[in-house]
């Protein structure tokens, strides 16, 4: 049972998954020890030692990870490197299913232990798509240079359904939430400058007139809520739907940095189209595919859970499907079915945390992050598909209080301990690897500067002091152990 007119789709889906795995591991590698090493901010070794003492055998189910076997800094790097190699081999056509299985296990191992630094929607999306990828091809040792297998029709349909769920839920949650800025079409007047990591083009998009911002919000709703239904209908309407979905992803890429999320979504969008829409065929695919009874496994597992998430997004307070909660909890540790919906509540102010150190308690110097705003003259970066996870998490922390983000105390501790892995996460260490006598976190409200301020003073940002964020930390208060 083969997809006659979807050879290119099969190739795109397989290669997109392999490429995004590679990008995800490659992005994680330079941050790995600073985030998760034994002297990192949220040490995986420390976490697993705690869980080992508090949980029994069920810890292997609730936290599925190869790091239960080894969790040293070398093991973290080795698993990340193995993921990069397996994704590369999959892309090159070497035993795709085995390689994608290795990628899934490696990435799930990080997500299970990565806590808030690996809790983003694209991490979940990669694992959900990655689970489908386990069924893209037969499990056999083979070498198909840059090739792939033709997808079973069930897997093609499930991949389309994943794209539908991703886009539809992204639109629905904006309307079902109580945030009035989406309903009165003013949300985009805040989005460009309040998102975690805007690009330079976001600065200029923010200056567009109100009527254009409202129109673009309306178009966004059309693309996210209406367009996904047409990806299932072959013909001109399907091609037009894909065009609008791709256009949205390109606009997001131009104005914001969202890691590998848009790369992954673009691959899902392009894979919708049949060979006839491309106007050419490819000949480097294997016709063999998995048996139907095997292809039915992900359908049986994922369709009910995906319908559950769609229903709960539409009818959040309804208890009609609560009988499915044990089923949903059972599969949660493996992240194979997830809800989606970025910016359900639009942030209307941009609060930023600025980390400062001092040796005399009077003169304070700022730590410069690699990508998030600190310096007012620093141009917004273009960093995707790489995701600087510390910079991202600082954006979320600024929206809450210090007591809701006690991981920041771990960051302070590591700086006092002069952890080189953590200090490497900063673009500028004003104390050149040495610990200052005191550290504090200040909170500011940032806004884009005006055209005039950019032209005359070189300012991309302007800011107002809001207040101190947590206490002032003194070096002598911290012990040598985290």
Query: What is the C-alpha separation between 423 and 401, in angstroms, rounded?
Result: 24
Q: What is the pLDDT of residue 117?
A: 97
Q: What is the pLDDT of residue 282?
A: 78
Q: 300: helix, coil or strand?
A: helix
Distances (CA, A) of 458 to 351, 381, 447, 450, 452: 21, 15, 14, 10, 9
- Strands 285-286 and 426-428 come out as unpaired
Which ranges constitute the DSSP H helices of 55-95?
A: 59-62, 73-92
Q: 140: helix, coil or strand?
A: coil
Q: What is the pLDDT of residue 372?
A: 96
Query: What is the C-alpha separation between 422 and 24, in angstroms, rounded?
Result: 20
Which ranges constitute the DSSP H helices of 178-274?
A: 180-183, 188-194, 200-205, 210-221, 236-255, 261-270
Question: What is the 8-class DSSP label of residue 256?
Answer: B
Within 8 A by CB and 6+ apart from 19, the residues are 87, 91, 263, 267
Phi and psi (nearest 5°) for 72?
-70, 170
Q: What is the pLDDT of residue 218?
A: 96
Query: What is the C-alpha separation between 167 and 220, in angstroms, rounded?
Result: 10
Q: 472: helix, coil or strand?
A: coil
| Burial per residue of 222-239, b for 16 or more beta-carbon CB atoms within 10 angstroms, e otherwise | ebbbebbebbeeeeeebb
Q: What is the pLDDT of residue 342?
A: 84
Q: What is the pLDDT of residue 475?
A: 86
Q: What is the pLDDT of residue 479?
A: 44
Q: What is the pLDDT of residue 29?
A: 97
Which residue in this structure is represented by tokens 């302070």? 412
pTM of the model: 0.95
Which residue in this structure is represented by tokens 């940002």? 461
Give 464's strand partners. 445
Within 8 A by CB and 6+ apart from 25, the residues are 80, 81, 83, 84, 87, 103, 106, 107
| Burial per residue of 308-334, b for 16 or more beta-carbon CB atoms within 10 angstroms, e otherwise | bbbebbeeeeeeebeeeeeebeeeebb
Per-residue pLDDT of the chain (482 residues; tens, 9 = 90+): 445 588 899 999 999 999 999 999 999 999 999 999 999 999 999 999 999 888 878 889 999 999 999 999 999 999 999 999 999 999 999 999 999 999 999 999 999 999 999 999 999 999 999 999 999 999 999 999 888 899 999 999 999 999 999 999 999 999 998 889 999 999 999 999 999 999 999 999 999 999 999 999 999 999 999 999 999 999 999 999 999 999 999 999 999 999 999 999 999 999 999 988 988 877 777 878 899 999 999 999 999 999 999 999 999 889 999 999 999 999 999 999 999 988 888 999 999 999 999 999 899 999 999 999 999 999 999 999 999 999 999 999 999 999 999 899 999 999 999 999 999 999 999 999 999 999 999 999 999 999 999 999 999 999 999 999 999 999 876 544 44
DSSP 321-386: TGGGHHHHHHHGGGT-S----TTSS---SEEEEEEEEESSSS--EEPEESSSS-STTPPPP--TTS
Specify whether the CB–CB gap between 25 and 73 falls below 8 A: no
Query: What is the C-alpha separation between 268 and 242, in angstroms, rounded?
Result: 10
Query: What is the C-alpha separation between 175 and 345, in angstroms, rounded?
Result: 10
Q: What is the pLDDT of residue 371?
A: 96
Which helix H or strand E contains 430, and what residues bound it? none
């Amino acid at each position: 049972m083969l997809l006659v007119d979807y050879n290119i789709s099969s190739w795109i889906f397989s290669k997109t998954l392999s490429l995004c795995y590679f990008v995800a591991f490659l992005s994680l590698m330079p941050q790995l020890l600073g985030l998760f090493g034994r002297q990192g901010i949220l040490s995986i070794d420390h976490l697993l030692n705690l869980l080992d003492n508090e949980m029994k055998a069920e810890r292997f189910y609730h936290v599925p990870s190869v790091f239960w076997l080894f969790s040293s800094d070398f093991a973290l790097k080795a698993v990340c490197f193995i993921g990069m190699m397996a994704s590369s081999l999959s892309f090159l056509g070497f035993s795709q299913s085995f390689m994608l299985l290795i990628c899934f296990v490696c990435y799930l191992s990080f997500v299970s232990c990565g806590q808030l630094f690996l809790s983003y929607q694209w991490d979940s999306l990669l694992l959900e798509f990655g689970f489908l990828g386990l069924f893209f091809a037969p499990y056999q040792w083979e070498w198909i240079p840059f090739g792939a297998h033709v997808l079973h029709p069930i897997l093609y349909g499930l991949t389309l359904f994943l794209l539908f769920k991703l886009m539809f839920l992204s639109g629905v949650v904006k309307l079902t939430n109580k945030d009035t800025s989406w309903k009165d079409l003013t949300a985009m007047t805040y989005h460009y400058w309040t998102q975690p990591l805007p690009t330079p083009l976001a600065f200029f998009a923010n200056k567009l007139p109100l009527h254009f911002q409202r129109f673009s919000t309306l178009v966004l709703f059309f693309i996210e809520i209406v367009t996904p239904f047409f990806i299932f209908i072959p013909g001109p309407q399907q091609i037009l739907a894909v065009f609008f979905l791709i256009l949205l992803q390109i606009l997001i890429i131009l104005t914001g940095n969202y890691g590998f999320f848009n790369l992954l979504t673009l691959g899902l969008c392009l894979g919708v189209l049949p060979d006839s829409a491309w106007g050419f065929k490819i000949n480097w695919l294997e016709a063999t595919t998995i048996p139907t009874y095997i292809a039915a496994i992900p359908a049986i597992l994922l369709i009910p859970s995906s319908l559950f998430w769609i229903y709960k997004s539409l009818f959040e307070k309804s208890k009609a499907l609560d009988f499915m909660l044990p089923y949903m909890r059972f599969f949660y540790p493996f992240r194979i079915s997830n809800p989606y919906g970025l910016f359900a509540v639009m942030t209307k102010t941009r609060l930023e945390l600025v980390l400062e150190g001092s040796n005399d308690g009077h003169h304070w110097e700022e730590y410069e992050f690699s990508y998030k705003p600190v310096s007012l003259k620093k141009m917004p970066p273009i960093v995707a598909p790489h995701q600087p996870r510390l910079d991202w998490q600082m954006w979320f922390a600024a929206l809450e209080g210090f007591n809701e983000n006690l991981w920041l105390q771990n960051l302070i501790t590591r700086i006092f301990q002069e952890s080189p892995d953590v200090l490497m996460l900063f673009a500028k260490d004003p104390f050149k690897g040495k610990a200052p006598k005191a550290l504090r976190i200040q909170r500011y409200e940032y806004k884009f500067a005006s055209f005039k301020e950019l032209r005359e003073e070189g300012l991309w940002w302007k800011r107002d002091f809001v207040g101190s964020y947590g206490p002032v930390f003194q070096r002598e208060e911290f012990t040598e152990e985290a």
